[in-house]
Structure 1
Amino acid sequence: MIYFPYFRGRQYDLLALKNIAQQHALPPNIIPIIEPVRDIRALPQTVAAFVEHDQPLVVIANPTVSDYALTQQKLYDWRSYADNPNLIVGHILTPTIIPEDLQATPDHQTLLVARQYDELLAASHAGWLDAPTHLLVPPEARIRRLLTRPSGSLFDHAWLPEHDRSYADITDGFFSEDWQQARLDGYTSISDYTIGGAHYSEHGYPARAVTLHLTYFAGDQLRIHRFVSDDREDFRHPKEKFFQAVAKLAAWLPAQPAAVQTPAALALADYHVTQHFPGLGVVKRLSLEHHLQTMATYFKTTILTKSQQNF
């Protein structure tokens, strides 16, 4: 079972991935996907970190969000690493793709992300779906009936509150158990948009509350705990709201199992002790690092052990 965590290439997403690569924290069956959204230095630096530490990574060659794909002259291009065997070139299935883009070789893997049934059906009729090494599709019954090759599921588990609701309405809840369902549905890999979700906004948007998101395992079920500031009246005072939220995290974390107390989670809790506000970008980076560290521990132990038992 392979886990493909899917990231949009924002600054702090990339910094989280770069740090994880430098820590050599991921087992070989966790392969992050980056869909570039901005022409920033952190993109090739992150790709270089994975290549230099001999860890696999997917980069989407035809991103479909933001205007990155329309920028003809890239200042910070990642393609100089395209020939490295640790780098898997991925594509999103669109009407403009060509079959040569999908063709894998013994030395270079490829990955295809298919998000629409109609496009997938057309690609199937054209005989394109056997070309890529990995295929990720929405976990829909009509798509499963269409496939004749091993593939993986791509799903968005993140919940975004709407209208007058907030994360304080559901501070703890179910997040994912895709690896369990995958075996029942015949998938050989899984993918999701982690805690960030599939929604992409070029400039972001303000929130009335500061919320810290930590995933954790309860048995084989991945859950998410949200630490929400008490002040949710307006968009002001993010620093004070952060201290309200991180105080709840610091009180909750010591009672959790050692697997939950990752280096990233402990770094977040320490801001309560030092009363230092690192900025919300750093908070996001550490939350993503915690998620990857949590998944790495589970996939190194539980998933690997079950695979060996089945073998």
Structure 2
Amino acid sequence: MYHPYFRGKQFELLAIRETAELLAKSSFVPIIEPVKEALNGLDRTLKAICSVNGKAIVIVNPDYGDHASDGADISALLKAGFGDQNAIAAGILLKDSMSVNDAFQFYQTHQDHRPVFIHAGFTEPKALAEKLGDALVSTQHVFVEKHCGKLYWRHFKGSMRILLRDGFERRKNADYPPVEKFSDLHVTFEEEGMNGFGDFLMVGDDYSEGGGPAYAVAIHLTYIDPGKDDVMYVYHFLSTTNNTPTDPAGKFGQALAKLISKLDSGTSHLFEGTAIAEFKELHSKKHFPGLGHVKKLSMKHHIETLANFLS
């Protein structure tokens, strides 16, 4: 049903491993685009998913990172370590530069791993649907919404269809408003004719290798508002100090204090699962775990929020 899209950096993979049991229990299927040359972390993550009878989709032809020009090592990992695992599917990223024949060749090469098409700029949907022929009904398609609309999706009617919406608008940390709408897709995906939905969590679809020093520190947390038709919103808890790139620990403390204050108000609508419990513990200990860890907690909280809502 829910397909969170991760780029396979260290803290993204940690977030998946630490929520593997919840993902499996909720029938959530993460999509992972490996971006780092070393695949040890991905291997551990996929084993963690398999150990709890979960599922995942691994993109074998990434658009970003160290495997962007050649995904052979990813395919080899799936074949060697997960050849007999029905749980791990091969994701085929369909970009604007890909031909129908290229797409179909990926599909045939990865037949052993239940290939999933991820539409992200591809321009020949009708021709691909015709090429798949009778096999279309047994295929799965993930549509990145900003690249394709209803006229595009309709070519794949009858197949398993997932709509992926980027609800997170990336800005400089200091420019985020206190709160803004994230998405309503978790309540409307069936009305769109879809079998499931996905998003890019608190990271967004824009890829970057790593940020520079943070002038402002932000904690991004989603919540669902039952008083507004269960629309999902995102809080941006910002540090008060944002004029120098120094003291990230102090800035995190400022942002965290705002989060705790909102929780204490009793009006936050934030789901209080393991991620919020850890934020509270960090506040009580006055501990700064590093910005990567903070991002991981935000992603875990997002997964916990949707699991609670859809349970």
Correspondences of 1:178-189 after superposition (within 5 Å): 178-189=185-196
Report Cα offsets for 1:118-139 as digits up to 9, x if no partner. 1334423433681763201144
Q: Which residue of 2 aligns with 1:109?
A: 114
SS in 1 for 2:202: helix
For 2:209, the aligned partner's letter is E
Out of 294, 299, 304, the residue aligned to residue 305 of structure 2 is 294
Tell me the CA shift for residue 240 of structure 1.
Answer: 0.9
Give unpaired runs (5+ residues) of structure 2: none
Structure 2 partner of 1:141: 150
1:29 counterpart = 2:27: yes
CA distance in 2: counterparts of 1:153 and 1:12, whole angstroms: 25
Task: Decide which structure has greater helix share.
Answer: 2
* 132, 146, 164: which one aligns with 1:154: 164
Classify the secondary structure of the residue corresponding to 1:243: helix
Cα RMSD (Å): 2.9
TM-score normalised by structure 1 residue count: 0.85
Spell out, residue by residue over 1:42-81, the C-alpha distance to the aligned partner (whole angstroms, 9 max, x if none): 1111011001111111111111111224467859974211
* Structure 1: distance between partners of 2:124 and 2:66: 22
Distance, in Å, in 1 between the alignment partners of 2:281 and 2:174 is 29
Q: Which residue of 2 aligns with 1:166?
A: 175
Distance 1:189 1:24, change over 3 A: closer
Structure 1 residues not aligned, in runs of 5+ = 301-311
- Cα distance change of structure 1 residues 90 and 105 upon mapping to structure 2, 3 Å threshold: closer
How far apart are residue 109 of structure 1 and its match?
Answer: 3.0
One-letter code of the match for 1:32?
P
Distance 1:123 1:34, change over 3 A: same
* Counterpart contact for 2:60–2:90, Cα < 8 Å: yes
- Find 1:247's aligned residue among 251, 257, 272: 257
Structure 2 Cα separation of the partners of residues 225 and 86 of structure 1? 34
Aligned length: 295
Q: Within 5 A, what are the aligned runs for 1:227-306?
A: 227-254=237-264, 255=266, 260-300=271-311
The answer for the alignment partner of 1:92 in structure 2 is 93
Q: CA 1:253/1:82 → structure 2, altered by over 3 Å: closer, same or farther?
A: farther
SS at match of 1:126: helix
The code of the aligned residue for 1:154 comes to L
Instruction: State the percentage of identical aligned residues.
Output: 28
Q: CA deviation at 1:278?
A: 0.7
Give 1:235 deviation, angstroms.
1.7
What is the distance in 2 between the residues matched to 1:72 and 1:296? 32
